[in-house]
Amino acid sequence: MSALTFKLLSHTKRDDGLIGRYHLEVTDTSSDRTVTISAEPKHLASARCMKTLLLDRCIFYRATREEHDQMVLAMLDPRYASSEQ
């Protein structure tokens, strides 16, 4: 189980109306350390990209592809998060 929690703070749109960046709050619950990151949608699609983004901020992300996909879905679709409870 990951000791990280993710919260979607906001997003910014590009000139064409599509989402350009997601702004996230990542908390390491084992140390209570919180960082804010900004990521392009393509970076959220991959656990490997997320690992790189977080390692740059000295946070180790150990999620499997399936765990990562579930985290992203829960973060971006509140209906999914509420159906899991």
Q: Would you tell me how many other CB atoms lie within 10 Å of the CB of residue 34?
A: 13
Does the pLDDT of residue 2 top 70, yes or no? no
Structure token digits, residue 38? 């900004």
Q: What's the CA dihedral at 81, 1, 3, 36 to 10 degrees?
A: -50
Looking up tokens 């899991």 gives: 84
The whole-angstrom separation of Cα 50 and Cα 8 is 14
Q: How confident is the model at residue 1 (pLDDT cuts 50, 70, 90)?
A: very low
Structure token digits, residue 19? 């989402």
Computed over its alpha carbons, how large is the radius of gyration of the chain?
13
Encode pLDDT of 27-72 as tens digits.
Answer: 999 888 999 999 999 999 899 999 999 999 989 999 999 999 999 9
